[in-house]
Structure formats: C-alpha cells, structure tokens
Structure 1
Amino acid sequence: MISRALKLIKNYLLLNDDNLKTTDANIWRLSVLRSILLIGVILTSAIVVHSSYTAYVQELYYVLYLTIGFTAFLLATLSIGLKHIKIASAFLVLVVLAASMCILFFTTDLISAQYGLLFLFTLPIIVRILYGIKASIATMLFNLVPYYLLVTKTKVSPLFGIDITLPDTHTYLASLLFLFFNFCIPMAVLRVMSSLEKQSEYNQLQSKKLNKIVKGYQEIFNNGGTPSFFCDEQGRILQANKAARSLVKKFRPNSEYIQDLFSLSLPITRGVNQTASIYNHPEQEFEIQPASLMHHKKQLVHCHDLSVNKKNLMEFDAYKKQQYEKHYFNELTGLKNHHFWKQVETSDSILNQHIVLLKLANLREINLQYGYSQGDKLLIKVISQLQNEFSSGARFYQFPGAKFLFTLSTKQLFSNSIEHFLTRKLPKTITVTSNNVDVEHTLKWRVGHYHVSREISADAATECCAIALSQSSELSPYMSFSINTVKSIRENTQQKDKVKALIDNGCLAIYLQPQVSIDETIVGFEALARLKELTTGSILQPHHFLPLIEANGWEVLFTQKILDATLKLLDSWPANLPRVPVAINLSGPELLNDIFYEKLLRRFSESPELCKKLKLELTETSVLASHSETKRRLTSLANVGATIIIDDFGTGHASLSQLIDMSASVIKVDREFVDRVETSERHRKIVKMTLDLAKSLEMQTIAEGVETRAQLSVLKEMGFKHFQGYLFGKPAPIEHWMSEIKAQA
C-alpha cells in the first residue's frame, strides 16, 4: 500500500525514470512546480485548519480570506498541466511575492514581518529554474530592496490598518520558511540535478557505442593518399587524415575551419566541386571535392592538388593591388579614403542620404600622453567597433585628421534624430592594451551632419559636413548643417573681429563695484571691464565678449589692457572718493605669460604704494589656478606685498593645501553659497566652515553676491565683516560713484 502510494506520488511529481531521462526542460520544470506547490498546499491547509477558529473568534475575517484564498490559489495552480507551464510558473512567482507582501505589510510584529523579507530570498533560485539566468539576476537585484529593509529594520506595517497577527503567527511563518528553505528549494535543486545525472549517464552510454563504430573506419580514412577532411556543415574540421594534417601543419597550423585553410569562393556544398587556393599561398591550388554522403550530415571533403607556377601573374596582380590600395585606402585602418569618396560617390548616389563626418576630438591628447602607437591601436579598434555597430548599409570612409565619414539612409535611422541615433551608436570608451596593461580611453566625438535633399556634388556635401563639424563643441558635439550656419559663422567672425578691434584700440570702460565693511562704509572696489563701441557709445556686456576672448586666447592682451586702464584710474583717483584699493581679476593664463608676469612683478616691486592700491583676484574656477608655476608666481607677488584674493571660493579646483601654496590672504565666498544662506542650513554650514577656515589661516573674507538685507543680517551674525553685491551697488563707472558720494554728503 505504501509503495503504491509512493509510486503514485513519484508519477505525479514526475520523478520516475522516464521523466528523469527526458531532455524536455518543461518536464522537470513542471516537476519542480508540483513539488513546491504540493508542499505549499499542505502547509496552507494546515494553517487554515489551525488558525480558522482563532481568527473567527477574534473576528479577523480577512485572515480567513487570505489563508483560504492562498490555499485555493495554490490548488488551482497545482491543477495546471504541461501545456500551460508558463502560466503555472508565473502563478508560483506571484504567490511567493503575494505571501511575502502580506507578511511584510499586514504583520505588526517586526520580527514576524521580516520573515516576509526572508521569504523573498527564495525567488532567485525559483525564477532561475522556471525562467532563466537573466530573470534570476533581475530578481537578485530586486531583492536589494528587502535586504535594505531587513538591515535597517524598517517597519512598513500595518498597511491600510490591517493586522493579520495571530497568537501562532510566528509558528506559521517559521514553518513556511522552514519548508521552503529546507524542503522546497532543496527538492527543486535535487530534481534538476537528478535529470542532469540521468541524461549524463545516457550520453556516456551512447558515446561508447559511437566510439566503437568510429574506430572501425578510422584506419581506412587516415591512410588515404589524398588530403581529406571530415567537417561539419559549417566547415569546422572534425578530423583530417595524414595527408591533410601535413597540409595544415605546413601552411595554416591554426586552421579550425576548412575555409581557414582554403580561400573558398563558394560554401562547401555536397556534390559541388570548386577550385580554391590556400590562404596566403595562391600558388597552391586545389580542387575541393565534397563527397556525396547520403546518410550523413557531416561532410567528407577531398582536396586534389592542382598547383601550377603562377608566380609572375600573381606578382603583377599584387603590384596593381598595392598601388590601388595605397591611393584609395587608408594604410592604418584599411578604410576607403577621401580619394575613393571623390572617385566613386556621385550626386545621384548621395541624394537623400545622411552624410556624417566624425572627428575624434581627443586623439591628439591620447597621442601626446600615450604615444602615437597607442593612438594607432585605438583608431583601429574604434573603426572596427563602428563597423560592427552600424548596419552593413553604412559606407565608411577615412578622411585626413582622424575624421571618419559615412552615409546613412533615412530608413536606417529608424525615425530617430541623427543626434539620438549617434548617441546610441558611438562608443563612449574603448580599452587598448599597452605594455600588457589595459588602458581605458574616453572618446570625445564631434559630429558634422548634412542631409542631402538636393543634387549636390560629393565634394560640396563633405564641405557642408565640415562646416557643421566646425561649429561643434564639447557642450554641443552634434551639429547639423544649416544655411543659417554659414550666416552664423559669418556673424561670429564679424563679432570676433569687432571685439578684437575694440581690445586693440583700448576701448575699455572700467566699471567699479563697491566692497563695504560691517557698517556699510566703502573699503574697496572690484574693477570689472566692459567694452565700449566708439561709434555708438553702447556698452558690450561680458557675456558678449568674454567667450570670444577665451576661445581665441586673448586673455593676456585683455588683462593687460584692464591693468593699464586701472592703473591710469588709480593715478587720477577723484579727491571726493575714499582712497580705497581696487581689485582686478586674473583668470590664470596671464600669470603663465612671462612678459605679463615680469611687468606685473616689477610694478609691485618698484612701487610699494601700489600694493595698497591694487589687489589681484584669482578665480578659483580656473584650472590654471592649480598649476604649480601659477602658484609659484603668486607666491612671488605676495612676497613683494601684493594682496592675493581667491575669487568664487568653493566652486572650483583648489584644495585646502593649494590655498596655502597660492599665498592668498583674502577669500571671497561665492554668491552660489550666499544666495541660499537664508533658506538652506546646509549652505549656512558650508559658509560657516569657510569663515572658520579663513580665520584659522589668518585670512580675510568677503561675502560676494549679497542682494538682500536678510542675507546681510545672517552673514553678519556668522561673523563676516566685508561684503559685496547688488545690495550695495551694481558695477558702474567711477562717475556714478562720485555722484553717489556727493549726494550722500
């Protein structure tokens, strides 16, 4: 009776020999499902029987609904057959999730609620068995959430005020975890392992039989005089006779496929002969003769030697190919070059095509840092990756200056914009091995794009791309050609020429913004430059000319003009204005210019009075502020009495040690921190820390960007004694401040 019952259970759970030997994955999946579900039904039924009376007495009817509902759901899932295995799998995962959520959200006892989190940890192995690796990994990542709740002892119950806790809830949940971790999961793994072991035994038996048959034909095949290969349908060499092994050893020792040895013009096809030569040995020609094996899926290929002396013809062909490739192909990457583009592409072939010109903007930096050989390796890997990434319909060309041009049809864009398409396709980084060390390089792309919507020559199309490429930048790396682009370039050139002419002619207007003490007395000014047009007298604001100055490297010239104008202003300082120092801004490159630096150092050295009148502000946001030579020169200026101010402190690259290295004596706290000092406790703490840091280094502080009385009040309470901002006055010409002083008097 017992053995019969066990047999019925084994048959129902698909644990008999026939089911263990089967290669159908759905069989063992269904077996695992039934094992887990059966144990679950037993447990939930026991809980229903044991808890129903208690739940009824305490009027916890939703406990009855939940336990009976879970039992019914498990029974329903248990009845699902092999045809609907996916539905049953989904239901099991759903049951585990639902049970975990009910325990977590409806159990007020923290320890009991944590059982729900632990129950979720069974999901990865269940999902792996029922669905696969990717789904299992996703479940593992999902379990980071319950792990966090478990570690932090976060209590999320009761949800909606529902509490399913009964006197024996702890026992029920402990039993649930015990059965799942000690029976369900181990049984699932044991079931899978049993199938694998049975299949392994069966495969070993079949292998022995096959080996016995193969040995009978081995000797005949091996001693044939003609080179013969036994291959699979893809041409992989499974076996070769002595003559064939000798051929491989002599010419292509690493050949894995027959097409690795022979340059085939056609796929190996049963009954179809072809002539082929050995790779890199075109003088070695063979007739490739696949045998007609009617009852065998593998291929027996006989190779009859047809070699003749074709040396002269091959040398001539090689010479022609060399000259052709030299002119039309890039020697490094093997890509077609700009000559090929001009020769082959016509206005018809590029009509309605998207022409894209790529430039690797940081290749020069890589060459300088790692050497040109590393840059060459990088280019080769980049083009290989690009060709793999783009569809076969994209035609690639290499242009001078590390530029790549390719064409795309509108269909290939799949309705995406060119920027969105290239953002997904272009590699962001690439790893190149150098001296047995893998170096990862960031790739900075610039893109010029032109959609050929009218008849235009290939040369003109590339010129449009080049114009668009010239407008790209780090902030806007993708640019499409527009007729307005040419207009923009022309306007930009005119603006650039205009700014340069104004600087050369000294058309500067020095605006002053006051710095005040705690009693709002002016104790200094910051000199801010504006450009003044001679014809109209209009003032150019900084955002109209500073980007052009930085882009064209005119910082030294511009700062020299500001310095000259400021010194002239100090020499003719109005009598009714308080004699206070004026600070000028240095962005960094000026100090690295030997001529500018030597003149500035000489002025301070030869005129001690100037040290009291002129201060130097160095913007911390400049990368050059961290340059060792910049710091050395700032120290020299400080040693002769110049006051060094760090502008915009806290927003740039300087470290605490660099504050000391730069010999600064004043810190200006950036307006970014001052602006939120009223509302943000975090900002107040940062500002306070900056103030304490300055005091510890015996440095003065100026709060910059003060715009309201409320800000001023908070800053005064913190201990600031000097301020600057619109509250005390916007930058204005010196005449304005003369009028202000006069009006106050």
Structure 2
Amino acid sequence: MLLNFFKQYFVLDDTDNDSHHSSRFRISALRILLSVSLLAILGFTSSSLIEFDASDESVLFVSLGILYTLIVALLLIVSRRFHEFAAIALASLIAVTGALFIGFSNTNDGVEFGVIALYSLPLIVRLFYSFKASLCFSIANIATLGIDLYLAQSQDFKTGSGTLYMQLMLFALLNFGLPLSVSRLLKTLQMSIDSHKELAENINHQSELYEEIFEHTGTPTLLCDKRGVVLKLNQKALDLFPNVSADTIEGTKINDWIASTSDASSRFFWQKNVSECVLKSNSKNFLEVHRSSLTTHGHYVLHLQDITHLRALTEELETTQQTNSRLAHFDSLTRLPNHQNFCNQVNHRIRNVSDYYTGAMFIIRISQFKLLNKQYGREQSNKVILNFSRTLQARLSDKTISGRLRGVKFACFMPVGQTYLIQRNLRTLIKSVLPEQIRIGEDILNIDYQIGVAYYQNEGETAEELLERCEMALEYSTSAERIAFFDQQLEAKLIQEHKLGLALGDAIKNKQIQIWLQPQVVSSGEIRSFEALARWRLDDGSYVSPIVFIRLAEELGLLPKLAENLLKQLVSVLEAWHQESIKTPIAFNLAGQELMNDVFFALLMSMTSERPWLSEMLELEITETSPVMTNPLIHKRLRALSQYGYSIAIDDFGTGQASMGQLIDIPANILKIDRRFVAPLPDDKRHLDIVKSTIQLARSLNMSVIAEGIETREQANLLISLGCDTLQGYYFGKPSPISDWTENNNEKAKQLRMVY
C-alpha cells in the first residue's frame, strides 16, 4: 500500500505513457526535488533547533529553516496542478539562496554552498525547460565562476573553493557536463518515447485494421485455439446465438455451442477443413464450418456458413428430382407408364423370354372425347380418363403391360395363346376388358372406342414398331368396325400413301397440278359457266384421282398452298378473258381449310381489291362435306366475300355436315345437287323425290340450282322439267385441260358452243 502510494505521489508508474508523458516527467522530477529539499531543510532546521543558543546567528538559522520549510512545503502542495509555477519558484529559490550565501556568508563553506547552488541551476532548469534555457543559465554562471575566483584570491578566503583547477572542473561539470549529459539523456528518452509512440500507433492501426477485417469478413467468423476455446467472434457470428453476449461465448469451447452432424462421434470436428454442424440451441439451424489455420500463433479461424436455406433447397431439389423422374416415366394423371416407359417395359419383356412367345399390342382411343371435354369441362373429362384407366387395370391380367400414350390413347401389350391369334377371339378378349360405361357425377356415359391391333410372334419386332403398326390399324377403324387389325396389305397401302404424299408435296411446290374445266349449261344447251377441276398427272402419264390427292392434301395440310397455286393460275386466265370481253364465269372449289388459312384468304381479298370485276367472273363452291364448314370463322369470311359480290354455291348438298343449318349460316345463292342423287334418275322414285324437294327448297330460298353428274338425255330432260337452272355432266361435256379453252387466243372460249 505504502509503495503504491509513493508511486502514485511521485508519478513513478508507467501505465499511462500517453501524450502527457513530458508533463508527468516534470511533475515527478519536481516532486522528488522538492521532497528531497524539504527533507534537507527539515534536517537543517532540526539541527539548528538542537544547537540553538539564543544568539543572533542561531535565531537567523532557525528562522531561515522554518521559512524555507514553509516555502518548499507550499511548492510541494501546488506542484500537481501548478507544476510550472512550482518549478520556476524552486529555481528562483535556489538562485536567491545561492546569491545570499555568496554575498553574506563569512565562511568558506557558506560561499562554497552558494556557488554550488548557482552551479546546479542549469541542471535544474534543464529538467523542467529546454536546453536553450539551461544554456543561458550556464553562461550566466560564468559570472558566478568569476566571483568565486575573485573571492578565492582575496585575503579573507585564501583557501576559498580550493585550487583553480578544482574550481574550473566543478564549474565545467555542473554548468556544462551534467546539463549536456542530462539533455542528451532526455533527448534520447524523448526519441525513444516518440518511436514507441509511433510504433504503438502503427500497432493500434494494424490492430484496428485486423479488427475491422475480422468484423467484416462477410461471414460469421470465430477465432479459437488448438483446444477449441473461443478467443474472439465477430458480430455476424454472435447473431447466430441470440440473447447471448460475446463475453459469454469467449473463453468457452466451441463444442458447447455447435455440434457436428456429419460425424457426431468427433469431438474435434472444427479441426477438419469442412464440417457440417448444427446449433445446439436450435437444431433446425444448420451450419457449414470452414477451417483456416493461423501458423504464427497456431490458432484456427473458423468461418461459419448458414446453410439452413441451402439444405432446405437441396431437400426440395431432391424431391423435385424424384417428382421429375416419376413424371419422366409415368403419366401424371393415371400413374400409368408413359410412352417411353411403356416401350421400355415391353422391350424388356420381349428380350427376356426364352421360349416361343406370342403377344398382342393394341391401342385404345376413346371416341368423341372432345365432345365430352366440351360438355363436362376438363376436370370432369380427366375423371373419365382416370376412371377408365383404373377399370382397365382392374380387368387386365398381371402379365399385361399397359400405359398411357397421350391424350385419350392407351396402349396394352398382353401375352396371348394360339386361341387368341384368331381375330374374333382376340376381339372378344379386348371387348371384355373395356368398360362400356363410365360414371361422371350422377351421369352414366356410354363409352365408344377405336382400337388398332398388331400381333407379336417372336419375330424380333420392337415395342416402337408394334405401336406404329397399331397406329396404322387405328387410322382404318370405322364407326361400324371399331377394332382394326394390322396386316401387310395395310402397311403397303400406308407406305404407298406416304410416298404419294411426298410426291404431292413436290408437285404442289413445282406447280405441276393443273386446272381442267367442265362446262355448266342452261336448258338451251348454251354454256353458262365452268367448274374448275384439279388434275394431277404423274411422270408415267397416269392420273391420280382428285378424290385421293385432295383428301391427302387436306390430311397433310397442303390444301391452302394447292388452292393458292390453282387460284393464281385461274385468275390469270380470267384476266385474259376479261380483256377479251369473255363474260363466262368459272366456279372454284373450296374445302374450308383454305378459308381458315389467313394467307390464302388475304391473297383472295387482295386479288379482289386489285380486280373489282373478279367477283363477277369467279364463283366459289363450298364443299359441304368438310367438317370445318361449321366453323364460325368460315361463316364470317364467306359473308365478307358475299358482300364483295361473289356468288357462293353449296357443293354436294345433302351429303355433308348439318345441311339445313348450312343454308342459314352460309350466305349461298346457288345449290348444287350431288351426283349420287342424280345417277339413279329417272327410274328411282325415292331419289326423284329428294331431287324435287331440293329444287323446291332452293326456289323457296331464292337460290339457283345446279345438278351435276348428268350422263343421259333422259336425266337432262327430267331435271329441266323439274326446274333445274343449270346442268353439268359428261352428257354435256367432259372436263378438259384449260389450255383447250385458251389456245389460239382463247378461240374456243369465244365460241362457247356445246354439241349434243
């Protein structure tokens, strides 16, 4: 306690080595000097009191001792707060004391004490002030040296301060030697302090820099020693432990807060490069610990990465991958194998049989499903598919492989014995497994199917080939015979149609399909108009029936392009006839698919706008047998063409889609009676009644009537008598190339004669 008190009182502790170190040094030196001086004066005063004899000299010494004691004690008291004043006062007191002893002392010791007191001033001044101030006092003491030498030579002070040599040595030592040495020492100490201060500032700067880097690593970071004791952690790491302070964690082991999930038995998981862990306070919070070694200190820097969301995403991804894998192999609605999975299973079954193996592959397509979808909605229609698949699965044997191909197509592959190789037996088997009725809510629906069947007889076919054959057979199923079997003739026919389709595409591209014209005459036999007919001649000189290639073009989506080529060819002829004042119109057939095509319709409208006369020379015949003729867009475009002045005829009336409804929806002014009603005339009374009623219907609607397919005079006279306006058929003229009517400057077209 006493030692600490003296350290604090004399400012001897070095704990506060800051920018105020100079002041602390001066205060410490001042207090030491004042304390020592006070002790010396107290000793002098005490001695004077002991030797006191009531003489004037004793009174003077005691009085001076008491005065000096009070002055030094006062300076010692104020030295803490007013150390500069105390230092000046101390130097002044020594200077005055020295001068008084030199001036008034009658003894050599008194003079010597005064000289030494003055000689000590440069050293004392140097302790509290600069070297220049000390040097000034040193120079001033030259006068003190002179006085001392003078007194030494005087008669009263022969022994004085000793020899001249000793006087000079004492002067040099006290005025220059010690002050210079102390100055050098103080300078060195000051440089050392400045150097340490700069070094401390650099260390503090580096420490702050490292602290900032550690705090802003971007990840939660811990610093721990080899034993796993946490030495430090940044704020991000502290955020992982809510309601816990840094002091609580620092000094504890990392195992107290984090547990390994990858290796639960490892106590030193944090020494691994990477380790997956979990917070002990929250088992749902997952971390990934990345270790870095600090080789200088042997400590570890641990970067903690919160992987809770990443782990959740990984689990979700795994679930998604499992779902995608299931979707990639199974139908999402029925859970039946999809096309690829079904083929893989069938191929695996075929490859892994060792004995003679027979089987049947068949595709089931639910008929009229689009109507069900439209009537009941998608959700209810999906229930139909689901109920059908479940019923089918329940009725099939365990050895049967089934799957959903697409839409309402299902495929089955079943092993069959020799009995079922007979088509009627296999047909019976297939019908037995198909549900005839499906319930939707309270409704019970009768279900119709179209089925294509192909046999497998251990001939090396693959599932893909069998499905392709089933598809071929399916295309030839009808409403009367819903189960169609594949055979070689069917395949040959389909291959031939495929080749014909390729050739048709080339023919349309190269504009090889030409227009032929067949006359349409009035009752007098004069040609009223023509019907444009398409003819396709092959390279071998043979012709393909229009019924065949028009149907094929419609199936392949080539009909709009074909119609575009024929229309351009026809319009060029009509343009020439218009210039020659030939006013005979030509009827052009449209199957509906062309009018649905935006490009073709735009072409027709642009031709009409560029040639206002075209609507008078071009008649449009709408093939009523086309299913698309019921489409509202067709009706809208036909009304637009009618407003432009086109005559519109309904071709093949009575044989197609909703005949009576077409008379309302289509703005037609011509009705054509199909050849199938004309051919039996005049002998068939039933057909005669149909023709009569059709003509009467047309008359009631202010429509003209054209009868086609007339081949005899009797048919012609009968139809004329019934009031038919226009007649067409081989009796009046067969179709001929359009060149027959345009050659020799349209000579034949100008004549417009018909010979009976």
* TM-score of the two chains, using structure 2 as the length reference: 0.50
Shift of 1:403: 2.6
Q: Which of 367, 387, 395 is the aligned partner of 1:381?
A: 387
| 1:696 and 2:729 correspond | no
Greater Cα offset, 566-575 or 699-708: 566-575
Q: In angstroms, what is the RMSD of aligned CA positions?
A: 3.7
Shift of 1:565: 1.2
Structure 1 residues 718 and 400: alpha-carbon distance in aligned structure 2, compared to 1, 3 A threshold: closer
Q: Is the 8 A contact 1:395 1:406 kept in 2?
A: yes
Residues 227-306 of structure 1 correspond to what in structure 2 (within 5 A)? none
| 1:517 and 2:519 correspond | no
| 1:413 and 2:420 correspond | yes
Shift of 1:510: 0.8
Q: Is the 8 A contact 2:675 2:709 kept in 1?
A: yes
Which residue identity is paired with 1:464? L
For residue 449 of structure 1, give the secondary structure of its aligned residue in structure 2.
strand
Q: Is the 8 A contact 1:419 1:478 kept in 2?
A: no
Residues 14-93 of structure 1 correspond to what in structure 2 (within 5 A)? none
Structure 1 residues 453 and 482: alpha-carbon distance in aligned structure 2, compared to 1, 3 A threshold: farther
Which residue identity is paired with 1:463? E
Which residue identity is paired with 1:357? F
| 1:346 and 2:351 correspond | yes
* Count of residues in Structure 1 that have an aligned counterpart in Structure 2: 418
Residues 536-575 of structure 1 correspond to what in structure 2 (within 5 A)? 536=540, 538-573=542-577
Q: Is the 8 A contact 1:431 1:440 kept in 2?
A: yes
Structure 1 residues 419 and 726: alpha-carbon distance in aligned structure 2, compared to 1, 3 A threshold: farther
Superposed CA offset, 1:216-259 (max 9, x none): xxxxxxxxxxxxxxxxxxxxxxxxxxxxxxxxxxxxxxxxxxxx
Structure 1 residues 332 and 607: alpha-carbon distance in aligned structure 2, compared to 1, 3 A threshold: closer
Aligned to 1:356: 361
CA distance in 2, matches of 1:592, 1:637: 14
Aligned to 1:222: none
Q: Is the 8 A contact 2:681 2:715 kept in 1?
A: yes
Superposed CA offset, 1:170-217 (max 9, x none): xxxxxxxxxxxxxxxxxxxxxxxxxxxxxxxxxxxxxxxxxxxxxxxx
For residue 438 of structure 2, give the secondary structure of its aligned residue in structure 1.
strand
CA distance in 2, matches of 1:669, 1:542: 19
Gaps of 5+ in 2: 1-321, 742-746
Residues 100-499 of structure 1 correspond to what in structure 2 (within 5 A)? 332-333=333-334, 338=342, 339-348=344-353, 351-360=356-365, 362=367, 365=370, 369=374, 370-387=376-393, 392=397, 395-401=400-406, 402-411=409-418, 413=420, 415-417=422-424, 420-421=427-428, 424-425=431-432, 427=434, 429-433=436-440, 436-438=441-443, 440=445, 442-454=447-459, 456=460, 460-473=462-475, 475=477, 478-482=483-487, 488-499=493-504
CA distance in 1, matches of 2:513, 2:569: 8
For residue 506 of structure 1, give the secondary structure of its aligned residue in structure 2.
coil
Shift of 1:700: 1.0
Q: Is the 8 A contact 2:391 2:435 kept in 1?
A: no
CA distance in 1, matches of 2:449, 2:737: 44
CA distance in 2, matches of 1:426, 1:583: 52
Q: Is the 8 A contact 2:361 2:470 kept in 1?
A: no
Q: Is the 8 A contact 1:358 1:448 kept in 2?
A: yes
Shift of 1:616: 0.3
Q: Is the 8 A contact 1:413 1:421 kept in 2?
A: no
Q: Is the 8 A contact 2:388 2:435 kept in 1?
A: no
Which residue identity is paired with 2:728? Q
Structure 1 residues 372 and 347: alpha-carbon distance in aligned structure 2, compared to 1, 3 A threshold: farther
CA distance in 1, matches of 2:659, 2:364: 35
Structure 1 residues 475 and 579: alpha-carbon distance in aligned structure 2, compared to 1, 3 A threshold: farther
Structure 1 residues 323 and 618: alpha-carbon distance in aligned structure 2, compared to 1, 3 A threshold: closer
Shift of 1:438: 1.6
Structure number with greater Rg is 2
Aligned to 2:686: 682
Q: Is the 8 A contact 2:608 2:614 kept in 1?
A: yes
Gaps of 5+ in 1: 1-320
CA distance in 1, matches of 2:601, 2:579: 31
Shift of 1:613: 1.1
* TM-score of the two chains, using structure 1 as the length reference: 0.50
Which residue identity is paired with 1:669? I
Superposed CA offset, 1:367-419 (max 9, x none): 853455434432333234435555x4751322542432221322452844466
Shift of 1:488: 4.8
Greater Cα offset, 678-687 or 640-649: 678-687
CA distance in 2, matches of 1:322, 1:622: 44
For residue 613 of structure 2, give the secondary structure of its aligned residue in structure 1.
helix
Q: Is the 8 A contact 2:388 2:438 kept in 1?
A: no
Aligned to 1:96: none
For residue 474 of structure 2, give the secondary structure of its aligned residue in structure 1.
coil
Q: Is the 8 A contact 2:453 2:486 kept in 1?
A: yes
Aligned to 1:193: none
CA distance in 1, matches of 2:324, 2:714: 79
Q: Is the 8 A contact 1:647 1:669 kept in 2?
A: yes
Structure 1 residues 600 and 353: alpha-carbon distance in aligned structure 2, compared to 1, 3 A threshold: same
Which residue identity is paired with 2:468? A
Aligned to 2:93: none
Shift of 1:479: 4.8
Q: Which of 639, 648, 656 is the aligned partner of 1:644?
A: 648
Shift of 1:466: 2.6
Structure 1 residues 343 and 366: alpha-carbon distance in aligned structure 2, compared to 1, 3 A threshold: farther
Shift of 1:735: 4.3
Which residue identity is paired with 2:475? S
Which residue identity is paired with 1:377? K
Aligned to 1:718: 722
Structure 1 residues 486 and 664: alpha-carbon distance in aligned structure 2, compared to 1, 3 A threshold: closer
Structure 1 residues 439 and 393: alpha-carbon distance in aligned structure 2, compared to 1, 3 A threshold: closer
Structure 1 residues 554 and 697: alpha-carbon distance in aligned structure 2, compared to 1, 3 A threshold: same
Residues 583-662 of structure 1 correspond to what in structure 2 (within 5 A)? 583-656=587-660, 658-662=662-666
Q: Is the 8 A contact 2:648 2:668 kept in 1?
A: yes
Shift of 1:553: 1.5
Percentage of pairs with the same residue: 29
Aligned to 2:38: none
CA distance in 2, matches of 1:349, 1:481: 26
Aligned to 2:289: none
Q: Is the 8 A contact 2:590 2:621 kept in 1?
A: yes
CA distance in 1, matches of 2:329, 2:754: 79
Greater Cα offset, 349-358 or 592-601: 349-358
CA distance in 1, matches of 2:518, 2:327: 65
Which residue identity is paired with 2:417? T
Superposed CA offset, 1:74-103 (max 9, x none): xxxxxxxxxxxxxxxxxxxxxxxxxxxxxx
Shift of 1:615: 0.4
Aligned to 1:527: 532
For residue 693 of structure 2, give the secondary structure of its aligned residue in structure 1.
helix
Q: Is the 8 A contact 1:605 1:640 kept in 2?
A: no
Aligned to 1:195: none
CA distance in 1, matches of 2:621, 2:355: 55
Shift of 1:344: 4.9
Q: Is the 8 A contact 1:604 1:637 kept in 2?
A: no
Q: Is the 8 A contact 2:671 2:704 kept in 1?
A: yes
Shift of 1:486: 5.7
CA distance in 1, matches of 2:369, 2:737: 45
Aligned to 2:211: none
Q: Is the 8 A contact 2:526 2:754 kept in 1?
A: no
For residue 472 of structure 1, give the secondary structure of its aligned residue in structure 2.
helix
